Amino acid sequence: MRTLFRLAALALATLAIAARADYAPKAWDVVTLADGVHGFVWRDPLADPIEGNALFIVNEEDVVVVDSGLLPSSARIMAKELKRLTSKPVRFVVNTHWHNDHVGGNGVYREIWPGVEFIAHEDTRTDILEQVYANQEANLQANERTTDTYAKYIESGVDGDGKPLAPDRRQRLAEVVAMYRAVLPDLRQVRKVPPDVTFRDRIVLRRGERTIEILWLGLGNTRGDAVVLLPKERIVATGDLLVWPVPFMFGSYHADWPDTLAKVDALAADTLFLAHGAPQRDRGYLRQVRELLAFIRDEARKAAATDLPPAEAKKAIDLSDWKKRFAQGDAKRERAFDAFVTAPSLERAIRQARGEAAAMTQKLR
């Protein structure tokens, strides 16, 4: 699994949640949230490969887009849907954070609208350059090798340790192989287009009568998470600070995230546009996520006070009740909770609580 996380944890954790033995294109919806504000929403937020939604803000003379997707082919679908809505050009694209599934389509937008500029938090720009672009070819090659290795396991019926593959594991490996063979050629078409405009705490776009506030509220899912607030329309795009049906906790900042999400909760907005999952018009799920984040933070502090190494100390943190609350009996969500919450969060949270500098770096693990 560690090899699979090298490219983009949200796109490459599918071994944990796969349920089919083949790869099929995903479905999407375009939903209108307010006059001139439309969301491109992937219908199944856990469909592989996991990709972020996009927000289209159509102004008097131009368009502002929030997030560009993972695959160039998906970005072209988004652009096609946008052109159904308006002939106005895209002037700005906001990258809410550095993960591949939010920046992979930048090159497509630059190709279609050469005058577009990309906006991100200053740390997000650094992380796109250092975490995504600098490792792009090595990551692709690593995942191509992994795909070939898994294909050999399926053909032989045994894994790398010589153990026979159980039917369910063989099915999941087949899903991963099918997906990567479908999407890796697409990922090879990703162009390196980093943000042009950066900010520290806040930047405001005034596009005719529309005001668009781009805010950094604190450490959270990453160190550079941006949220996009439309104060008149009372809409906020949360990026990966809030996603559904389970949080994504890769390389996150566990001491700070609960308070950062509380600041999102305090914004004057009636509609939450999530980067993964359908838009929401109440705060019940947000507050459930915040409670989970606070629980992990507090339990990690207790575990950090012991003399045990993180791998042992984390065993005292019981997330089983939380898993039930988020999964609601759905097996796919249960696997997603294991892969996206439990696996990446606990040791890192303990190490952060102990003040380890290495645990504060912006990595996927």
Q: Domain spans of the chain?
A: 1-289, 290-360
Contact 69, 101 (CB under 8 A): yes
Q: Who's near 48: CB < 8 A, 6+ residues apart?
A: 11, 14, 17, 18, 23, 175, 179
Q: Reply yes or no: is the peptide bond before residue 195 cis, omega within 30 of 0.
A: no
Instruction: Please report the pLDDT score of residue 333 as a whole number.
Output: 98
Q: Where are the alpha helices (DSSP H) in 2-161?
A: 9-12, 14-17, 72-85, 100-103, 106-112, 122-127, 136-156
Q: Tell the residue number behind the tokens 């946008």, with chain if given.
A: 82
Identity of residue 173: L
Identity of residue 168: D
Q: How far apart are CA 222 and CA 197, in angstroms?
A: 19
Contact 106, 72 (CB under 8 A): no
CA dihedral defined by 206, 207, 210, 214, rounded to 10 degrees? -50
Instruction: Please report the pLDDT score of residue 12 as a whole number.
Output: 40
Q: How far apart are CA 189 and CA 90, in angstroms?
A: 21
Q: What is the DSSP letter of 50?
A: P
Contact 71, 183 (CB under 8 A): yes
pLDDT digits (tens, 9 = 90+) for 157-196: 999 999 999 999 999 899 999 999 999 999 999 999 999 9
Q: Reply yes or no: is the peptide bond before residue 49 cis, omega within 30 of 0.
A: yes
Task: Give 206's strand partners.
Answer: 211
Please say whether the dihedral angle defined by the alpha carbons of residues 300, 17, 183 and 151, taken in this order, is positive or negative.
positive
Q: Of 358, 362, 355, which is closest to residue 300 (Cα–Cα)?
A: 355
Contact 276, 42 (CB under 8 A): yes
Task: Give 94's strand partners.
Answer: 66, 119
The parts of the chain modelled with pLDDT lower than 50 are 1-21
Please say whether the dihedral angle defined by the alpha carbons of residues 112, 28, 32 and 202, taken in this order, is positive or negative.
negative
Mapped onto helix, strand or coil, the DSSP state of residue 37 is: strand
79 φ/ψ sector (left φ>0, alpha ψ -120 to 50, else beta): alpha
Q: How far apart are CA 246 and CA 340, in angstroms?
A: 7
Give me the phi and psi of 136, to 5 degrees please. Answer: -60, -50
Q: Name the token pair of 312.
A: 């042992």
Contact 119, 203 (CB under 8 A): yes
The architecture that CATH gives domain 1-289 is 4-Layer Sandwich (3.60)
> What is the pTM for the complete model shown?
0.92
Q: Name the token pair of 329.
A: 């009996």
